[in-house]
Amino acid sequence: MENGTLHDLLGSDQGSSTLSPVTVSWKMRMDVLLGVSRAIEHLHYHAHPPIIHRDIKSANILFDESWVPRVADFGLPVSWDVTKEKEGMEFVAAGTLGYLDPEYYAIFLLKPASDVYNLGVMMLEVLTGKEAVFYGEKGTTHLPYFAVPLIEAGNLGELLDGQPSPEPTPCELQASF
């Protein structure tokens, strides 16, 4: 699409970000997360039959000419059998490492919650400016393992991406967590 992917705009590829509304605005980042959340809600609750995407990630969020985020790459979706809600459906794990729901990856039981986990990792990317798997002080790090201790300790300043300016308002910060 005209304005590329969320992954590219966040500058995940060795700092190659360009100035865009997504890069410089906390409000735009929150709007993107809200738009993607609504798209997943639509897939899970309003599509007939419900759909589990299985590969929600920043590289699969494209922006049109008006900077509206669009969920893309429907190569792995599964029609959800709502009668299997409690126990899940057995499928070989598929998706992108770094985003995969650990429960789904370990025991091959797919649930809509797997997309929600993917979304959570993507949200952390948007908030931190880091990739889902990145090389940090302690070697290769999975973003949730980096972020959760900082969130639990209340060290949001260490967590948030320093690119957008001005800093998020208290309302935007509250919406993030």
Q: Using CA atoms, how far apart are residues 80 and 151, in angstroms rounded to an integer?
A: 32
Do 98 and 121 meet the contact criterion of CB atoms below 8 Å apart? yes
Tokens linked to 8: 């590219």
Global pTM value: 0.85
Q: Looking at the domain assignment, is residue 13 inside a domain?
A: yes
Return the pLDDT at 54.
93
Return the pLDDT at 82.
78
Return the pLDDT at 175.
60
Enzyme catalytic residues: 55
70, amino acid identity: R
Domain count, the chain: 1
The parent domain of residue 144 ranges over: 6-77+87-161
Helix (H) or strand (E) holding 134: strand 133-136
10: domain CATH number is: 1.10.510.10
Chain segment 103-139, per-residue pLDDT in tens: 998 999 899 999 999 999 999 999 999 999 998 788 8
What count of Cα atoms within 13 Å lies in the side-chain half-sphere of residue 12?
Answer: 23
Chain segment 45-80, per-residue pLDDT in tens: 999 999 999 999 999 999 999 999 999 998 888 998
Q: How far is CA 175 from CA 4, 34, 54, 60, 144, in A?
A: 25, 10, 25, 23, 18
Return the pLDDT at 176.
58
Q: Looking at the domain assignment, is residue 34 inside a domain?
A: yes
Q: Looking at the domain assignment, is residue 131 inside a domain?
A: yes
